[in-house]
Amino acid sequence: MIPRARIVLAPRPGRGLSLADTATGDPPLSLPISRRLALAALLALAPVLPATAQERAITLASTTSTEQSGLFGHLLPIFQRETGIAVRVVAVGTGQALAIGAKGDADALLVHDRAGEDKFVADGHGLDRRDVMANDFVIVGPAADPAGIKGGRDATDALARIAKAKAPFASRGDDSGTNRTELRLWKKAGIEARGLGSGYRELGQGMGPTLNAAAAMDAYTLTDRATWANFKNRQNLVILVQGDPALFNPYGSILVNPSKNPQIHAADAKIWHEWLTSERGRAAIASFTINGEQLFFPTGTMPTQ
């Protein structure tokens, strides 16, 4: 709903008439009657005039990892300063973000499940998917490490050892990009994760709450490195497995298809999409650090491990 404008023309010495806000919206009694009548007619139109220019904003459906790591808190103010466009983030798992985009309830997506992203575009829901940035996943767990996986670089072997040890594992269980990667790794290990019994806990939660649960349970879990770096409640959890190419974690930007969703803010979403993959956007991504550590790498810049 457009707020009602409270506008009045008031004389200023030496400057004639100017617009000013007033609590009542009534023309000043000091004006001649003819001018008061003219101003009254103008004020009758005030309900259809916005008090301020309407804010330019888009809705971005994205992941909990980009939100909980602090990346958006760094990135979005830079974008808004440069373009005047605010970005409202809906931070959910990638599966949910794709569903939100398919319904036209977002203008753009920033997600991390390439197979799901490609299907989203192939089904006609999205346009112009672009590589944006990457980081990696790590397997964390209790320092005591009952499964004996510490120092390994093979994620599939690590999961097989966790299953053999019947050690607890906290899964996001939320159809996120992280959850989808985890399930692919279990499958590659030849293990049906949901058949592991009570030690396998599907939480239906984002990355932060899942790490909290793993810390409380002394359980293993798969996490993106950025959320881990920003996570404070580690208790006994430490990184145990990293460096497997299978743990590479790329992110893609997709525009929601305006031909299916004419109500979306397609033009401003396009500005975001272009900025994110421009040199300015890449520099902004690269400049985000936690304790001096860069945690997201523009596409093509991530060092090999």
Supply φ then ψ for residue 84, to 5 degrees. Answer: 80, 10
Domain edges within the chain: 7-48, 56-134+250-298, 136-247
Could you tell me the pTM of the whole model?
0.78
Q: For domain 136-247, which architecture applies?
A: 3-Layer(aba) Sandwich (3.40)
User: Which candidate, 202, 193, 194, 150, places its Cα nearest to that of 173?
Assistant: 202
| Per-residue pLDDT of the chain in tens (305 residues, 90 and over written 9) | 333 333 333 333 333 333 333 333 444 444 455 554 544 444 444 444 343 456 899 999 999 899 989 999 999 999 999 999 999 999 999 999 999 999 999 999 999 999 999 999 999 999 999 999 999 999 999 999 999 999 999 999 999 999 999 999 999 999 999 999 999 999 999 999 988 999 999 999 999 999 999 999 999 999 999 999 999 999 999 999 999 999 999 999 999 999 999 999 999 999 999 999 999 999 999 999 999 999 999 999 988 75
Domain pair 56-134+250-298 / 136-247, same fold: yes
- What CATH homologous superfamily does 56-134+250-298 map to? Periplasmic binding protein-like II (3.40.190.10)
